[in-house]
Amino acid sequence: MARIKTCLLCIAFVVCFSGISFAEAPNPFEGDWVADVAAKVLPSVVNIASVKTVTMQSPLFNDPFFREFFGGGVPHEQVQRALGSGVIISTDGYIVTNNHVVGGADKVEVRLSDARVYTATIVGTDPKSDVAIIKINKTGLPAMKIGDSSKVRIGSFVLAIGNPFGLEQTVTMGIVSALGRSGLGITDYENFIQTDASINPGNSGGALVNMKGELIGINTAILSKSGGSVGIGFAIPIDLVMSIKKSIDKYGKVVRGWLGVSVQEVTPEIAKGLGLSSARGALISEVMKGGPAEKSGIKHGDVIVAIDGKPVQTTASMRFLISEIMPGSAVKVKVLREGKEKVYTVVAGDLAKAQVPEHQLLIKDNKFLEGATVADLTPAGRETLNLKPEIQGVAVIEVSDNSAAAKTGLRPGDIILTINNKTTRNLEELKKVIIDYKGMKMSISLYRQGMVMTMTIIK
């Protein structure tokens, strides 16, 4: 089965013939047009090297036998290095790249096209979209002009310029293969531009530029069995990137809007039952009491088909559109109700504030789960994780380093469904299951990144 691989070494640039007719467009196979565009954008290409120190433990000590006789083992530090690329977006040193290139790094170095090297500071990162903003202390830099990714069209010719496998200044050519790709499991918020321009490992943090040399996206990942290019690469639209930068500039962090609804996909069967002409939109399965949607008049059973004039095809596209809304902004939400279109004005809430659980529990005195902080799922948390109604459990908020819970394998974001085959739909049920439990084995059923898994731990 093909699998997604993120690119970690260098960058790619894409140039597209967006929004122009064949009569207006230059022929990319004639003259030096490709070379002219490449020459225009190459000075904005930078190489990024990051270093991160992590605490590691031998995998032997995951085995209960070794832990029993030799203890937890002695953790040791390991240096991890990542190579990627970035794009200069302002003359005073702001650079955009991928979070997986610089996230958590102790040191970041930027190498300009003229070989000058600068130490960079991380201004802000967003793991949920894999975007990062860094800055070097230098002015007069060759910034790339920001374009409009909403105008990119399928079939537009593209160039990929970058450093695949460490080979600098490599130029390849292709087309934009698809738009709005989601459900790939690369990031939480996906709306990728897909291209068949050759992108290989090492293109992370690169860019998509149109025929005017305007930035329209950041290359992030490839789909490949071998790890090499097979003609399926993905880039983050620049509209999303700049929305994230705007949020970081204003709030010092990434903030996202919240409607206060749980949704599910509109299947052909549901569409037929609701009298819809096609299986599109997001069916509201729950409206949060007191939330923005309820206050506006939106109801359970409505089908969201557009947000601020932008079509909603799936639940993933709805989540993406909402993620771009600034809290406090008024947006027009079009829904289908009993076969009729209705438009409601919704003042978006703050997702981060809505996610804060009212009750949390730091688990103590349990040799399997000690060190984990857990909480009841909030409506916003369910919305963010796109949880189906049948997923009922307790959310793992935090796991202390080197704790029993960390050694068990719990991660922040996990949803604990059952322990020893007993349901843990809320904190009260979880407390009843683990209180005074002194057994030598624990079986934990989790929901993690769209999958249900079971871990059995023996101590």
One DSSP character per residue, 348-400 reads: -EEHHHHHS-S-EEE--S-TTTTTEEEEEPPHHHHHHHT--TT---EEEEEE-
Domain 356-458 fold = Pdz3 Domain (2.30.42)
DSSP-derived 3-state class of residue 423: strand
Active site residue 100: yes
List 126, 129, 130, 229, catalytic entry: 130
Residue 336 has which token pair? 């289908």
List 44, 100, 126, 376, catalytic entry: 100
Phi/psi of residue 207, nearest 5 degrees: -140, 160
| Domain 257-352 identical in fold to domain 356-458 | yes
List 177, 204, 317, 445, catalytic entry: 204
Residue 288 has which token pair? 């949060």
Q: Domain 1-252 carries which CATH code? A: 2.40.10.120
Domain 257-352 fold = Pdz3 Domain (2.30.42)
Active site residue 63: no
Domain ranges of the chain: 1-252, 257-352, 356-458
How many of the other CB atoms lie within 10 Å of CB of 292? 25
Q: Is the pTM of this model over 0.75?
A: no
Q: What is the pLDDT along the chain (459 residues), one digit of tens a residue?
A: 444 444 433 433 444 444 444 444 556 556 677 788 888 888 888 888 888 776 555 555 555 555 555 555 555 567 777 778 889 999 999 999 999 888 888 899 998 988 899 999 999 999 888 999 999 999 999 999 898 888 889 888 877 776 667 667 777 777 888 887 877 777 777 888 888 877 777 677 887 787 778 888 888 877 776 666 677 888 888 989 998 998 899 888 888 888 888 888 888 888 888 878 888 889 988 888 888 998 999 998 899 999 999 888 888 888 888 888 888 889 999 999 888 889 999 999 888 777 666 678 888 888 889 889 898 887 777 766 767 778 889 989 888 888 888 888 888 888 999 999 999 998 899 998 888 788 888 999 999 877 888 888 887
Active site residue 401: no
